[in-house]
Chains A and B, each alone.
Chain A
């Protein structure tokens, strides 16, 4: 192989990163399209607030002050971090259970036939609506909330893992079998990486679901946490704090999604379908 060809292939290898991003390479060009729509919403909000002159619609300054107050309150921050801890626990439980079950369903038509009716039935049920029942069984503590979050994230994780495992090229599995790899290691070392691009899409949906069920579970079982702060503020009609909490939850969601998207792209950097999944 000539050195020229090697250089050509290397150029192709790095070419992916060198592709012009939408908005160009300048920081301003990349940040502006994100900030402008938000700025627009903020302006409309402020205008409405001034026009309506009601307590239920406080101005940006008031919301901002409440936001800063939350960030400065150790009790509030402890509540938010308790929420995040439960969310992480529920999500981890989903990863540990739903992903292997989904992958196994994708590889075993018999298992898929057995479990599909159950998952199809459970899918449309709002998981937070199960909270009162779960509280009867497990109390109002962390366990119930972690379980509800687990239920919330499980179905997208299960579904995408199932689809991912089904789409794994059979010849990859055959190649591994010919090398002498047995069924259990194949699931971990061939089916899981083969399904990974799809599994990670499920994770992205799962993170959003975890955030939603986290907040709603705390609305029902108010002990501590972001949802408790939000709905207590609502009950006590402290509106700036309500909107500040909503803003905080939205920013947490944005941050998690942004961080996860970075991780996802790095994990599937080998994949041909990386670009297609970017949309």
Chain B
């Protein structure tokens, strides 16, 4: 069995409001992710799943607990963990090509080499002809392809994806899921993928961490034992896929605050 690449123990995150009140976003999170695993973090909004991802990224500090990546405690961001954000977060003043080259240039890769690698990645996500465009000239789906290429360019060991397809329309989302799965099945990078989409999580993942809200805790870890390479049309009629989707939807349904709240 492979060594755990990410190890999270007793993680807790508390946000202190100026008025002295504090909000516990995450409590008692334990999670281990193996190298090459695709793990989704699924949960209702407000369960702290993005917060968890940001802490693995080193962008925000935990209140208690430990995160280790490849045996080393996380205390800051680093090029071993490449983020992809829902809002794309492309540098708007850089062209598409310059965005994809950026991480390599920061790491002092010679310009010609960075350029060649960036062009190859842009071709991979079918955006070669758009290399000299500014991000504002592209559609949302195209921007997210650029963002994925930009992160893949500097070859992080782990991809941290924060609802990367959440801002896209259904059709574009499906296309990008297929593309991501294709890329992943080729190079098997470790992926931590935050989502609130059940079918997306089942389609992509090896394991799904189901979280409950306020405070965010790990509710259940579901193993997705579906064969790869996966084809959407085949999965949709696969009994195991259907059972997993139904099970997860039932779990999330229970957690919906509206079911137990005043408006039910």
Contact = CB atoms under 8 A, between A and B. Distances in A.
A194 B79 CA distance: 22
B129 interface: yes
Interface in A187-220: 190, 193-194, 196
Interface in B141-197: 150-151, 154, 156
A173 to B, nearest CB: 9
Given A178-B78, A179-B79, A270 B89 contact: no
Contacts of B127: 1
B241 interface: no
A190 B90 CA distance: 11
A9 B133 CA distance: 9
B130 A9 contact: yes
Contact of B107 (A3, A171, A179, A194): A179
Given A179-B154, A190-B91, A271 B136 contact: yes
Contacts of A181: 106
A36 interface: no
A174 B77 contact: yes
Contacts of B107: 179-180
B126 interface: yes
Interface stretch (B2-10, B37-45, B80-88, B209-217): B80-88
Interface string A1-17: 10100100100110000
Interface string B121-145: 0000011111001111110000000
A270 B93 contact: yes
A258 B150 CA distance: 38
B1 to A, nearest CB: 29
A172 B151 CA distance: 13
A172 B126 contact: no
A230 B199 CA distance: 76
A169 interface: yes
Interface residues of B, number: 36
Nearest to B129: A6
Contact of A193 (B87, B93, B133, B151): B93
Describe A's contact surface by its main secondary structure: helix
B92 interface: yes
A171 B164 CA distance: 13
Interface residues of A, number: 25
B154 A177 contact: no
A157 B82 CA distance: 35
Contact of B85 (A1, A171, A177): A171
A167 interface: no
B102 interface: yes
Contacts of A13: 133-134, 137
A81 interface: no
A172 B106 CA distance: 14
Contacts of B106: 176, 179-181
A175 interface: yes
B62 interface: no
A44 to B, nearest CB: 45
B103 interface: yes
Contacts of A178: 57, 77-79, 81-83, 103, 151, 156
Given A3-B129, A193-B93, 5 more contacts: A1-B127, A1-B129, A177-B76, A178-B77, A180-B79
25 contacts: A1-B128, A1-B129, A1-B130, A6-B130, A13-B134, A171-B87, A171-B89, A172-B89, A174-B59, A174-B77, A174-B83, A175-B83, A178-B77, A178-B78, A178-B79, A178-B156, A180-B103, A180-B107, A181-B106, A193-B91, A194-B93, A270-B135, A270-B136, A271-B136, A272-B136
Question: 8 closest pairs, A vs B, by CB?
Answer: A171-B89, A179-B103, A177-B77, A179-B106, A178-B77, A193-B93, A270-B134, A13-B137
Interface of A: 1, 3, 6, 9, 12-13, 169, 171-172, 174-181, 190, 193-194, 196, 269-272
